[in-house]
Structure 1
């Protein structure tokens, strides 16, 4: 079974132009929902490995056949945009624009992918040149007037033998600093570069290293965030008790702690998640602030709809939720909110029509964060969380 991965890793592997899908069974669902609770798609051929139960941010960079960004460890490079221009006359023939796009791809992505297509862009004097090889892709937009690259979006996966030693050493050192006790043996890395789709957006490059028990990401050479397993013996008894008290609001009876994991973000407190159940495939978890121990989310995904990837079931779930009385939904969430999160849901406004079927939002109307609750087809709440921004 694949390791739970934070959303930013999944987005990193897909790249900015791919739409995520929610296709996992319960164990996979719990591990990906811990951070932001949003569905994600498992990428073929690059599954995360783990011994137990089952994780990116889309990050940006500019470049072109007329630009250059350093491709050293963690992509230390120019974040302000174009760094130089070719002096020679631009080639605006189809072959010339493909050649310019290919040069950009090799310089910025560090891989040569096979050419797939060149596509005129409606309403713009541009073509989009597409390169792809399995999960690796590069989209490069080239001006048909100047022959210059206007924007691009690329993503590549690298095997363990392709990982730079300096990059790996830097990642190991940072993980130890963060508190990871295991031996980090990266089995792959990703590089994502993108620029031009957002006006005035600074150029960025994201590089991420993955293993079954830990993952770490850098943006423009600077540590950004990480996720790693934590030994159960490293979890304090106060944290364990807080989590058990929280879980009791969704599930009664004795529960067994199976796994603990931390998610850290530069400049923030970070989170710790404890996973419970009769076996390693169970999907009950509690997420807390790592510093304050405040409960942020409790979920029992065994109560979730059986096949949330089914369009028919998602439509049915969404309609049933819309038809359900607000009072019933608010009542189901009130006890959890009052007992665990210390808030009064009657002071919040319930908002339906969320993009995810079965989920409603309770808005505070003030500075307090919103609360999200998810329900199954019978109106039983299976997930309740404080909405936070862990993926800027």
Structure 2
């Protein structure tokens, strides 16, 4: 039986057998790219290396087919329900939220089936109840968004009330169409578009977050991946005598200021002065002002982030990702922009301490910056729910083809 921890363990065993006890073990963060099969590593390695790629291709085919029978069904049912927009819009958007939640559950199924476990620590999201909050993770790779979806899908009805602020490039992907229909916000990155994007964000929050009963807003304050922003962030920190960060980057606060200006505790008074209407449409529930900010620290093993291809192919050995929460009351955040920016820099300095300690020791320091933080607990999903959803989407695809698409095709020819 092959060791459960993948190629690193196999490498150590093969070297021990072929080179003797004096052979040094590979580094903990050794890249897979340089760990190619060699004759001196034994037939165990060859067996593992040769057998993994057909399985990865099969898994990728499954993920691709899963997209093909889930997303068309999503649009098909919402298209059938579209007349409700004229007579009962609240019912239509409730249906849309349910289908959106189900699609996020499908994404979480990809992550879990690849063996990528998640441990949560610190403050508990479940304790927030129905409060509205901003969810602010650090941003390292393309796996961050599926990981957050996995966190949300494990909590009943959480996905239905979430809104994402994401890069506009995602709008042109298959899930981007779903997010667009869900009224998520796509921000155009770059200094040239920053001011216009913030104005559009303010309008969108009023029209979508307020009017459609959103409660949770996902915002990546760093504004880009760690590998892309690290050098610029460190140069800015050195120039302005700010904390030097290696495992995260200094956050940008422009979007957060807009969010708090529109949805914060003083938003009603400010909106009256700025002409913004926070009163929901007829039949919609009352708007909830933001009460909490949730700082989220995502820590991948050995500081090597997963990416979207790892999740799709499952080509990286099973591993555990730590997610740490710190919940802050909105009233404790400084009101002035400079004070708010300093507060955010301190939050990210604490995040740097968490990540640095974890990468050095291999043990996540859940109580380092928050003595009352809860120890890590594994995130668990209900397998029966996954089974139901796969059955629902496959069955719906069959009926959509037999009773709608194929008859339409023959009518057209």
- Give the TM-score taking structure 2 as reference length: 0.22
Q: Which one scores higher on RCO, CA 8 angstroms, separation ≥ 6?
A: 2
The structure with more strand, counted as a fraction of residues: 1
Higher helix share: 2
Normalised by the length of structure 1, the TM-score is 0.23
